[in-house]
Amino acid sequence: MELTPGKKLASTVCATEVIIVRPPGGPVSVECGGAAMVAAEEAPDEGSRGTVDAGHAGGTMLGKRYLHEASGLELLCTKPGAGGLAVGGVALPLKEAKPLPSSD
């Protein structure tokens, strides 16, 4: 699956949905809850979902951005869920806000 800006991805194990803000520089595997994410239109129904892997149960937060620095991938959470986001099995941290310059 090609990861392009604006593409919506959904988890196959929880309610998490994200949108790609900045695509990666190369091919990567985006995961949630220990399972690969799919295009939002291909997401399984709530009763058909798998289970979140205990090692990847960090959860996602609505409106927060997640960054994979090595590839440049940036995701925005549009629907929170129980699974944590990862790329190639490595958990994605929240993107840190840039400090504003002080106004004297």
Q: 36-53 pLDDT, tens per residue? A: 999 999 988 887 888 898
As a whole number of angstroms, the distance between CA 29 and CA 74 comes to 13
Residue 3 lies in a domain: no
Residue 95 lies in a domain: no
Residue type, position 35, single letter: A
Measured between alpha carbons, how far is residue 56 from residues 24, 25, 91, 97 in Å? Answer: 21, 24, 8, 24
Residue 104 lies in a domain: no
Q: What dihedral angle (degrees, nearest 10) is formed by the CA atoms of 71, 72, 76, 77? A: 20
What's the domain count of the chain?
A: 1
Task: Give 66: exposed, middle or buried? Use CB within 10 Å, 0-12, 13-18, 19+.
Answer: buried
Per run of 10 residues, the mean pLDDT along the chain (length 104 residues) is 93 95 93 94 84 88 95 96 93 88 76
The whole domain housing 77 covers: 8-84
